Structure 1
Amino acid sequence: MAGYNFWGLPGWRCAFVIMGILSCLIGFLVFQFVVDPRRLSGAHEMGKMSDRENLIEDKSTRSATIWLESWAAMKMVMKVPTFQVIVLQGLVGMVPWTAIVFITLWFELIGFDHNSSATLVGIFAAGCALGSFFGGIIADRMSQKYPHAGRVMCAQFSAFMGIPFSLFLLRVIPQEVSSYYTYATTLFLMGFTISWCATATNGPVFAEVVPPKHRTMIYALDRAFEVSFSSFAAPIVGILSEKIYGYDSKSVDPVLGSTREAMALSRGLLAMMVVPFGLCSLFYSPLYWTFKQDREIARIASAKETEML
């Protein structure tokens, strides 16, 4: 849509508006139809009220009590070694995903037009979507065979694969328009293999070491840590490209791009992808020792809580 105008507006603005409308629609549907199982009342009340009515909290519950309880749970979970490891790997693991926002600009500097660049990015996104799905399936099967290590192995494999694919994408493939199909194939395979961590490991591991009552809050806390820390990646790519590798925006042809600037940007991207991918894979290693112990502790605590009900 970037190369066209719709109703007098640039296509990229229309794309943002469409995504915003779809997001609002999804939020409304979730609010309207999704039932939170944590808030369901007992069987006696369930026979008299609908699911939506069961979600209404007791008016006597004070917000201060909820916040204090959440704060206590957050402090407790932050002491869990497995949680610390996942947050640590996420701090560096999110850096390449933040830096990769420059990939569209990089393709256009090589000389691809808007449509070709968008298609390549779309192919990468499709690979990531399929990779997340199949990565979860593979990790489920691996966890059945290796209960305490299967998911960790999947995460390390996925993070490590970012290194050779980044090198091949940014340094080996000739930065020419004629390499379109090579880029497309590489991006799809790269997206398919580097997108496993969240569905294969992080989410399932959190589900086993975090109390169900506070699971959503802990997920949000993890995302806050990771995204806030990784936000510096994009500016650093720009600084590296300009100050070290010689990127000059004034030398870029708006239509044909610039091979020299494309090379400079690719080097900046490479620095912010290869090293973080390697560190992310390395930082998963402590889970081989912490996950088993923390999972058993969580199971015992959950069993005791169930007995008290």
Structure 2
Amino acid sequence: MAGQQYWGVQGWRFAFIMMASLSLLIGLLVYLFVVDPRKTIGANRDTSENFERDELIEKGNSYESSIWTESWTATKAVMKVKTFQIIVLQGIVGSLPWTAMVFFTMWFELIGFSHNKTAALLSVFAVGCSLGSLLGGLIADRMSHIYPHSGRIMCAQFSAVMGIPFSWFLLKVIPQSVSSYFTFAVTLFMMGLTISWNGTAVNAPIFAEVVPVKHRTMIYAYDRAFEGSFSSFAAPLVGILSEQMFGYDSKSIDPIKGSAREASALSKGLLSMMAIPFGLCCLFYTPLYRYFRQDRENARVAGSKSLEIM
């Protein structure tokens, strides 16, 4: 859509408007058709003595503490869980390469690719990531049955470490020329297929096993907040490295043909902010081999006690 107009609106603006409209539509459909499980549970409760007892307990607790106090207490408890700390730590580092990838569009156009070909390459990468999430989930589920305490961790480390050779091959080995279009496409697809496992196949299922069900959504939100906040530094760091260390100069860029020299400088900055964080991410998963099993058992015991009280 870049470089074109739709009903008098510039293409890039129209793309944002279109995505916003789709988001509003999805939100409306969720509001109309998605059923909150908590409401279903509440509707199915009978009016027996158990319900009256629960109601009295809830009323008594309401005088002692608010929902915010309860949430803060749960947050402090979860913050002490080693597995949670480790996943947040690796997530902060592991999110850096994904934020740095926003420069892929600029890099491909510096090489000389047109808007359409650049968009096609990024679409191939997005498709690879989508299929990779599914593939990673299937493999991680299988591995968790074979190795209940370490299967998902092994999948996470494999996915993280695969980012290193693919980043190196993509940014350093493939000739930075428009004639390498097919090689770029295949590499991006395979890269997306293998480096996208951690979120859906590993982190979320592990969180589900060590975090109380009642506060699971809140803890997921904390994790997203931590990772998103720190990973936002990746893009500026790519720019700083490219300019200060590798000689990137925006003034020497040809707006039509791009610039091979600047593309090379940017690729070096990208490689620095991708290969190193991918390696650290893989390394930071290692303590889970020790703590995940223990934290999961603690969560199960706590859940059993809660059910007995209810």
Task: Check whether TM > 0.5.
Answer: yes
Report the equivalent of 1:66. 67
Report the equivalent of 2:78. 77
Pair 1:45–1:257, CA change in 2 (3 A): farther
Deviation of 1:307 (Å): 1.2
Pair 1:14–1:45, CA change in 2 (3 A): farther
Structure 2, unaligned runs of 5 or more: 48-58
Pair 1:157–1:275, CA change in 2 (3 A): same
Letter in 2 for 1:306: L
Letter in 2 for 1:152: I
**1:97 lines up with 2:98 in the alignment:** yes
Report the equivalent of 1:38. 38
Letter in 2 for 1:91: I
Report the equivalent of 2:160. 159
Deviation of 1:61 (Å): 6.3
Letter in 2 for 1:181: F
Report the equivalent of 1:50. none
SS in 2 for 1:41: helix
Deviation of 1:243 (Å): 1.2
Conserved in 2, the CA contact under 8 Å of 1:38 and 1:213?
no
Report the equivalent of 1:13. 13
Deviation of 1:7 (Å): 1.0
SS in 2 for 1:87: helix
Spell out, residue by residue over 1:178-227, the C-alpha distance to the aligned partner (whole angstroms, 9 max, x if none).
00000000000000000000111100000000000000000000000001
Name the CA distance, whole Å, in 2 between partners of 1:25 and 1:244: 46
**1:252 lines up with 2:285 in the alignment:** no
Letter in 2 for 1:116: K
The aligned runs of 1:119-130 (5 Å cut-off) are 119-130=120-131
Structure 1, unaligned runs of 5 or more: 47-57
Deviation of 1:15 (Å): 0.5
State percent identity of aligned pairs.
67
Relative to structure 2, which stretch is displaced further, 2-11 or 162-171? 2-11
Q: Give TM-score scaled by structure 1 length.
A: 0.93
**Which aligned segments of 4 or more residues in structure 1 are displaced greater than 6 angstroms?**
none
Deviation of 1:42 (Å): 5.1
Name the CA distance, whole Å, in 2 between partners of 1:42 and 1:156: 44
**1:219 lines up with 2:220 in the alignment:** yes
Letter in 2 for 1:31: Y
Q: Give TM-score scaled by structure 2 length.
A: 0.93
Letter in 2 for 1:268: G
Name the CA distance, whole Å, in 1 between partners of 2:62 and 2:112: 61
Deviation of 1:32 (Å): 2.1
Deviation of 1:44 (Å): 3.9
Deviation of 1:277 (Å): 0.1
The aligned runs of 1:273-288 (5 Å cut-off) are 273-288=274-289
Report the equivalent of 1:228. 229
Deviation of 1:45 (Å): 5.7
Deviation of 1:36 (Å): 2.3
CA RMSD across the alignment: 1.7
Deviation of 1:33 (Å): 1.9
Name the CA distance, whole Å, in 1 between partners of 2:152 and 2:122: 28
Conserved in 2, the CA contact under 8 Å of 1:3 and 1:115?
no
Report the equivalent of 2:50. none
Deviation of 1:27 (Å): 1.4
Relative to structure 2, which stretch is displaced further, 37-46 or 171-180? 37-46
Report the equivalent of 1:54. none
Name the CA distance, whole Å, in 2 between partners of 1:113 and 1:85: 42
Report the equivalent of 2:55. none
Name the CA distance, whole Å, in 1 between partners of 2:38 and 2:238: 43
